[in-house]
Amino acid sequence: MKTFDLEITSAVVIDGKIRAAGSRVTANRRLAVNLLQRGKAQVASGEGPLRMSGPIASDSSATEGDDLPLADHTVAELVELAAEYGIEGAGRMKKAELVAAIEAAEEGAQD
């Protein structure tokens, strides 16, 4: 499996651990694309460009620059996103509850 070296540009939770801006991580293609699209990382110097192809790129949300569907995120990523929306108690929620709460917050932000 191909991996990519990334430099974190703003704090993010990966595999349940907080990664601070400036730290480096090695990520599989799916995680790398997710972090890059969300603006949470950049390709570390010395790495070639990360080309979008295959099932991730063919997903309409990936090609339009939007995030992956909420259900495709890990619970840790959903908890982080919920924190960005100011959703209280996110750390105690199950994945389905997190998705519903984030969707409700996103709908409220569009009104």
Tokens coding 20: 């601070």
d(CA 93, CA 82): 10
Residues 21-30 pLDDT 10s: 899 998 887 8
On the question of pLDDT at 65 being above 50, the answer is no
Q: What is the DSSP string of 34-46?
A: HHHHTTSEEEPTT
DSSP string, 4-61: EEEEESS-EEETTEEE-TT-EEEEEHHHHHHHHHTTSEEEPTTPPP----HHHHHSHH
Arithmetic mean of pLDDT, 29-36: 83
Delineate the domains of the chain, giving CATH numbers in brackets.
Answer: 1-67 (3.40.5), 69-111 (no CATH)
- Residue 73, token pair as written in the block: 């995120």
Give the whole-angstrom CA distance, residue 108 versus residue 59.
25
Rounded to two decimals, what is the model's pTM?
Answer: 0.45
